[in-house]
A and B are shown apart, each in its own frame.
Chain A
Amino acid sequence: MRQLIVRRLLQTIPLLFFVSIACFALVKLAPGDPVLSFVTPNMHPEDIERIRHHLGLDQPAYMQYLLWLKEMFRGNLGYSLVNHQPVAHQIIERIPATAGLMGSALLLAVLIAIPLGLAAGSQRNRWADKLINLISYIGISIPIFWLAIMLIYLFAIQLHWLPVMGMRTIGKESAMDVIKHGILPCSVLAFSFLSTYVRYIRSGTIGQLKEEYVQIQYAFGSSKRIVLFRHVMKHVLLPIITLLGMSMAELVTGAIVTETVFSWPGIGSLGMTAVKGLDYPVIMGITLLSALLLIIGNLLADILYGFADPRIKTTR
């Protein structure tokens, strides 16, 4: 087990290194001179050169990378080309909105997916399975923005039950208000996650139910319920750890479309604005954060999986 952790950690370091190079290169290769965004019409050429020097942009590419890396370790992700605010600050400011939205969506999805997946898998090809299957097919096939528009139309415009967009009503400062705003985007996201989870749990359940040990449990007088909840569930939930680990990155960037449709002031809409304005430092910051979270998420998932699965835990 310890060996596994150490090995995974060692694998992660070069990956992080290369991902950071890739992020850096992506922005470096992009057209346009970042200095120009600092230029005002009445600047002297030497002023421009001074800014260039100040930003380190007159150095060779690898030095720029190292400088960037050094700054990054100090928590400095640079400044936005559009509003000249520190990138790290802008990202941190928006993390709660996105993490709250995605966290609750993921939680909701998992909580609904487990019973649905188990039900579908154990009732294979009966009506309940067919219905759940249809729902999950729609979930992976539906354009998420369309679902969002339809829900907005139904619940906000027609029924007036929920606010149309944003995260708060102007002038209101209550948690209830935020929750009300969050219901629609959260449901939309949860629905899209749900389908993937249900499909995993369903096929996991079907696979486990075919295992010899399940047959044998029946031969020892276990009921279907006992087999499902005491024996199959643990197996089926193990892959969910991995899926959740992979979703760590989506906590940050998974919601670009949803946040845009609902004008949710999270990192997704920050990224969207940054792309539209070619605000490279912001794009780079978000990309890096997301890659970091993805890698850490996978690492954590592997380790947690190791602890949860006795076959891995007890081997050294």
Chain B
Amino acid sequence: MNRTKWRNLKNEWLSNKIGIAASVVLAILVLGAIGAFLSPNDPNALDVLGKLKPPSANHWFGTDEYGRDYFARALYGGRVSLLVGFSAMIVATIVGTVVGVVSGYFGGWLDNLLMRLLEIIMSIPSFLVMLLLSVLLKPGIVTLVIIIGLLMWMNMARIIRAETLAAKEREYVLYAKASGQGAFGIILRHILPGIVPVIIVSATNNIASAILMESSLSFLGFGIQPPNATWGSMLTSAQGHIMDAPYLALLPGALILLTVLCFNILGDILRVGLEPKLVKR
């Protein structure tokens, strides 16, 4: 049962040209972010004379309003964006999975309580709260990760809860229960393995939304603080130079779009792989 799920996931991923393309693009972006330090230009080195220069052999994407190398900044910015997106996904996945599994497995008043709590949190406009929190807490990567992660787990919790409810009724789980295994052991050994594929799918989509959220926050000036850059904050300054250096706005936005697009596509391909079906697309 579970093995088929995995195989379907893998098949769907490998048999889909777009899926492979998305993976390759993401791999390049990640490598770029990791290897950013190899760039000959310091992303924070100012050069007043060489500011707002169009792309050249030395500066592949030109320079910004302080004469900093835009390519190097994009690489370092990508590092932060990807890191925040990935870590926020981890936070959301952990919280979402724990809440979902606990709620689904134990049911009863605990389930009721958690689900009502979830409803309340979902009723509050998250973006506004996110803005507020990022002002109140000291801005930085860790705060950003926590804020974004904590505002994203709710959907995941719902999905996992539903999956747990279904898994709970399977025979092997009932058998494990009847044979006196503890709840923790059952969850760990019998329930979680079955829902890992679902978690992966939903986590993939969560990275996409986390990166988008981070970029919005940074764009509005609530995210990573200068002189460090993320793709979002690079766009803030680019907006001010839209008249004299429009190309500055192009690159960071395109990078965000590309990254988020790839994660969304991968997420959907994996989701299709999870759907049991006879027909090939």
Q: Which residues of A contact B (CB under 8 A)?
A: 14-15, 18-19, 22-23, 26, 30-31, 125, 137-138, 140-147, 149-150, 152-153, 157, 249, 252-253, 256-257, 260-261, 271-272, 275-276, 278, 283, 286-287, 290-291, 294-295
Contact = CB atoms under 8 A, between A and B. Distances in A.
Contacts of A261: 239
B242 A153 contact: yes
Contacts of A19: 120, 123-124
B268 to A, nearest CB: 8
Contacts of B232: 143
B216 interface: yes
Contact of A157 (B120, B208, B222, B243): B243
Contacts of A252: 125
A137 B265 contact: yes
B135 A278 contact: yes
Interface stretch (B68-76, B154-162, B183-191, B255-263): B255-263
B105 interface: no
Given A31-B136, A272-B131, A18 B124 contact: no
Contacts of B253: 142-143, 146-147, 149-150
Nearest to B257: A142
B238 A149 contact: yes
Nearest to B121: A22
29 contacts: A14-B116, A15-B120, A19-B123, A19-B124, A26-B124, A137-B264, A137-B265, A142-B253, A142-B257, A143-B212, A143-B216, A146-B249, A147-B253, A150-B249, A157-B242, A249-B125, A252-B125, A253-B125, A256-B128, A257-B219, A260-B220, A261-B239, A271-B131, A272-B131, A287-B124, A287-B125, A290-B125, A291-B124, A295-B123
Contact of B136 (A30, A140, A260): A30
A252 B124 CA distance: 12
B47 interface: no
The interface centre, meaning the residue of A146, A157, A249 with most chain B CB atoms within 10 A of its CB, is A146
B212 A283 contact: no
Contacts of B238: 149
Interface residues on B, range: 35 or more
Contact of B235 (A141, A149, A271, A283): A149
Interface of B: 116, 119-121, 123-125, 127-129, 131-132, 135-136, 208, 212, 215-216, 219-220, 222, 232, 235, 238-239, 242-243, 246, 249-250, 252-253, 256-257, 260-261, 264-265, 281
The interface centre, meaning the residue of A22, A141, A260, A276 with most chain B CB atoms within 10 A of its CB, is A141
A294 B119 CA distance: 11
Contacts of B281: 125
A142 B246 CA distance: 18
Contacts of A26: 124, 129, 132
A150 B246 CA distance: 9
Contact of B132 (A141, A283, A290): A283
Contacts of A295: 123
A146 B220 CA distance: 12
B209 to A, nearest CB: 9
B125 A283 contact: no
The interface centre, meaning the residue of B129, B208, B215 with most chain A CB atoms within 10 A of its CB, is B129
Contacts of B235: 143, 145-146, 149
B79 to A, nearest CB: 18
A143 B261 contact: no
Contacts of A152: 242
B243 A275 contact: no
Contacts of B129: 26, 287
Given A149-B253, A157-B243, A143 B219 contact: yes
A147 B250 CA distance: 10
Nearest to B208: A141
Contacts of B242: 149, 152-153, 157
A271 B131 CA distance: 9
A143 B257 CA distance: 7
B135 A276 contact: yes
B249 A283 contact: no
B77 to A, nearest CB: 13
B149 to A, nearest CB: 18
Given A140-B264, A143-B235, A145-B219, 13 more contacts: A22-B120, A22-B124, A137-B264, A141-B212, A141-B260, A143-B215, A146-B252, A146-B256, A149-B235, A253-B125, A256-B127, A275-B132, A287-B124
